[in-house]
């Protein structure tokens, strides 16, 4: 990563998760581990979002019926 700066953030997590985290991840490496976990999850979410957008853009919806509906509406 190494962006040359850091942002402090505060999160609320369940006690059990916090206890497991502090038991398993050594002090001094916790920020790096959290950053890696967040980065991994963000990549997954971004991939899912891109796939959904591509799927939506690939739909060749026939807008004729929608346009007819809008034309018949009187506001």
d(CA 28, CA 2): 16
Are 33 and 1 in contact by the 8 Å Cβ rule? The answer is no
Are 42 and 49 in contact by the 8 Å Cβ rule? The answer is no
Tens of pLDDT, residue by residue over 9-41, are 999 999 999 999 999 999 999 999 999 999 998
Q: Terminal CA-to-CA distance of the chain, rounded, Å?
A: 55
Q: Is the pTM of this model over 0.95?
A: no
Q: DSSP assignment, residue 55? A: H
Cα distances (angstroms) measured from residue 48 to each of 12, 35, 52, 74: 25, 20, 6, 39
Please give the pLDDT value at position 32: 94
Please give the pLDDT value at position 51: 76
């Amino acid at each position: 990563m190494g962006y040359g700066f850091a942002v402090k953030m505060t999160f609320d997590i369940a006690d059990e998760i916090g206890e497991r985290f502090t038991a398993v991840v050594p002090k001094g490496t916790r920020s790096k581990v959290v950053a890696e976990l967040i980065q991994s999850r963000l990549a997954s979410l971004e991939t899912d979002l891109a796939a959904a957008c591509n799927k939506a853009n690939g739909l060749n919806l026939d807008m004729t019926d929608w346009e007819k509906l809008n034309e018949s509406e009187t506001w």
